Amino acid sequence: MYSENYRPTEQLASHEFELYFGPNHPGIEGNYALKVRLNGDQVVKITADGGYLHRGFEKLMEERLWIQNVALVPRICVPDPVPMEETYARVVEMLGGLEVPERAQWIRVMMLEMSRICAHIFTFGGNAATIGQYSNMFWGVSDRDRILDLFEEVTGARVYHMYVTPGGVRRDLPDGFLARLSQLLDYLDARLPEYEDLFFDNPVVQQRGKNVGKMTQEQALEWGVTGPNLRACGLPYDVRRNDPYLVYEQLEFDIPIEQGGDVFARMLVRRAELIQSIRILRQVIEKLHVIKGAVRRCHLPNPLAWNIPEGDAYARTESSKGELAFYAVSNGTAKPWRVHVRGPSSMHAVQVLEKLCIGQRVEDIAQIMFSLDACPPEVDR
Amino acid sequence: MVDTLIYLLIVIIKILIIMVPLMGAVAYLTLAERKVIGYMQIRIGPNRVGFYGWGQPLADAFKLMFKEIVIPQNSDYFLFFIAPMLCIAPALAAWAVIPFADGLVLSNINAGLLYILAMTSLGVYGIIIAGWASNSKYAFLGAMRSAAQIVAYEIAMGFALVGVLMAAGSLNLSEIVKAQNGSLIHWYWLPLFPLFLVYLISAVAETNRAPFDVAEGEAEIVAGFHVEYSGMLFAVFFLAEYANMILVAALASIMFLGGWLSPFQGTPLEATFAFVPGIFWFLAKTSFFLFWYLWIRATFPRYRYDQIMRLGWKVFIPITLVWIVLIGVAVLLKLPPWFV
């Protein structure tokens, strides 16, 4: 029954058996492996193994120039790359004492919120696909594609933008972009009720999602849960509000919360956040019509000899997955001495997932993982 | 001797006349599924092979035929090979008693309904044996789920058919259609409405289709019972699934929507549509149910396994039991217009 190199780590009870869930499994995002021990089809124990997607980002960054790392950071999390760029840029700005022009700050907020919409639409779709509803996934991919078109217009790239650089953004918006963005927002506004019909009001989705993968607020705080997952437990904690960065202080938006703490509540929070992101983007568009000026520092130093002063800095951002933070230490040379990435997924996909799955059925593992919005490449940097 | 041979030859030709179009229908049902669901999901579906993708089923068939059949080392060879055949044989054999139009039936036997029940129940053996013979954990989980699910829904479906039997007073499928003669409201979907719904939903569960496809739940147990199958053996499972879909759709149209009867019976339009052959109405009704199956696949996510079992045992079986009693009373009272 077992292949030659298979060695069970411990002796199983006679009524239990072990199942390898991944790294190549349709219900898993990315190359992520779960070793599941089952009793019938109930999960007794689950062990996460993120090592299949170890790409060594943190070590790589030490070998690159400060400016080269701009191209490296968005790759840490594929579906939501802008917060990575933004946080890295901000940590370098803090270390180097760089000022960001006002227009660039607003453009960054715009990019962040567009990326959040992308990621949330993708998460609905992914969550629906794990329970066998592929229509929602395709709808999500198709709507996300329109946002990617806009990203392409601004940055030249669809996913890895490398647009937010220390000291500003790479270039100004193209002509007529803001009009196209507001058209897209109107389109999304019109589309959201259809997602309600297909996904949120669907009785089967509700039956599948309610009371599955449930955690209380105390547990969430204890386990280091952040972002929409924490807000689904009833705590209105959002870095954009609690530790504002860029121009978020000047924007009006609500922090949506839900009390359930289960899979469905987490999806509801994401839906409400999507609406708030659209609201933020509308305000940003108005501001961007008014605020003119440069989008980057005029005198960027020679990147090859760009020495960042000695010191350390910590910057954090609310990404679509949770709280994302970069801690960078510089020893005054052209390369970072150490960069640490605090990715939300390393908590969500390992310790939280391992605990939430216990006692659930095998068909809910994938759903719980998607509802936590864990991003495997972010787990093992 | 010669007479027997001629008789056998005629039967074989009749079988071919049913089987060849059926296989074609199965092939094009896969294309229809991909097209219909594609448009529901804002994409186009296959459109490369042939005229607007009409060659796609042939291309798929050729691809699967020339693929290697990979046999897992520790599997049970004999059972591994026999399982797909056990799956498809009953799905095709059941067509022997399906009346396509008045008198157009391969074998007009009196116990037709019983024969159908027997054949559709046999199909689960193929799935269980496939899951067991593969010697794979995912396949095993899928087979276990499928077995439990089919037992639960077979009962609900059987009871729904008992209602039809009581209403029509016959097990012969042609007689059942004839008993619905009259008009649209004479068809059994109206007096047996709860049984009609139970049958439709159980039929989805019976064929392992979404939203009851826990036996092959893709994001959970990868492909369930046929995870280890490849090439032509996999194709046979695929054919069996679609042949079963067409079968349950045909049964639904025979038992609840009046089979080959025209929907314009008893209306002023009856004479206008008298030229349309009965088989057209039968195929139209079958296609309607098939479209419905594709539609719910695009709309509903998969039920969780324990929810499926609860629905089967605690909702459907009580509903059918109660309605059978009511039907019995109605038949005794000769309730017009159905049971006179």
What are the Cα distances from residue A317, in Å, to A258, A325, B76?
21, 6, 56
What are the Cα distances from residue B160, in Å, to B100, B256, B330?
22, 11, 16
Sequence-distant (6+) residues with CB within 8 A of B284 are none
**Residue B119 DSSP SS3:** helix
Look at residue A131 in the predicted model and tell me its pLDDT: 85
Q: What percent of chain A has pLDDT over 70?
A: 96
pLDDT in tens, B209-268: 878 887 676 667 777 788 888 888 888 888 888 998 899 999 999 888 888 888 887 778
Q: In angstroms, what separates the C-alpha of B211 from chain A's closest C-alpha?
A: 8
Q: Give me A252's structure tokens.
A: 């009006």
- What is the DSSP secondary structure assignment for residue A262, as one 8-state letter? S
List the single residue in B with minimal CA-CA distance to A195. Answer: B299
Is pLDDT larger for residue B338 or for residue A322? A322
Sequence-distant (6+) residues with CB within 8 A of B165 are B113, B171
Look at residue A284 in the predicted model and tell me its pLDDT: 92
Rounded to the nearest integer, the mean pLDDT of chain B is: 86
Exposure string for A10-41, b = 16+ CB within 10 A, e = fewer: eeeeeeebbbebbbebebbbbbbbbbbbbeeb
Secondary structure in 3-state letters for B53-109:
HCCHHHHHHHHHHCCCCCCCCCCCHHHHHHHHHHHHHHHHHHHHHCCCECCECCCCC
CA torsion through residues B126, B129, B131, B135, sign: negative
Question: ipTM of the predicted structure?
Answer: 0.80
Quick check: A200 contacting B, CB < 8 Å? no
pTM: 0.85
- Best probe of the A interface among B44, B214, B220, B297, by most A CBs < 10 A, is B220
Q: In angstroms, what separates the C-alpha of B246 from chain A's closest C-alpha?
A: 22
- Best probe of the A interface among B44, B135, B300, by most A CBs < 10 A, is B300
User: In this complex, do B304 and A365 lie within 8 Å of one another by their Cβ atoms?
Assistant: no
User: In this complex, do B307 and A133 lie within 8 Å of one another by their Cβ atoms?
Assistant: no
Quick check: A206 contacting B, CB < 8 Å? no
Residues B118, B161: contact at Cβ < 8 Å? no
pLDDT in tens, A235-253: 888 888 888 888 888 988 8
Residue A205 pLDDT greater than 70, yes or no: yes
Q: How many CA atoms lie within 13 A of A162 on its CB side?
A: 10
User: In this complex, do B220 and A27 lie within 8 Å of one another by their Cβ atoms?
Assistant: yes
Quick check: A3 contacting B, CB < 8 Å? no
Q: How confident is the model at residue A277 (pLDDT cuts 50, 70, 90)?
A: very high
User: In this complex, do A1 and B74 lie within 8 Å of one another by their Cβ atoms?
Assistant: yes
Q: What is the mean pLDDT of residues A354-373?
A: 86
B220 neighbourhood in chain A, CB within 8 Å:
27, 362-363, 365-366
- What is the DSSP secondary structure assignment for residue A197, as one 8-state letter? I
Structural domains in chain A?
57-379 (1.10.645.10)
Q: In angstroms, what separates the C-alpha of A20 from chain B's closest C-alpha?
A: 9
List the single residue in A with minimal CA-CA distance to B37. Answer: A135
User: In this complex, do A132 and B210 lie within 8 Å of one another by their Cβ atoms?
Assistant: yes
Give the number of beta-carbon pairs within 8 Å between A and B: 86
Residue A1 pLDDT greater than 60, yes or no: no
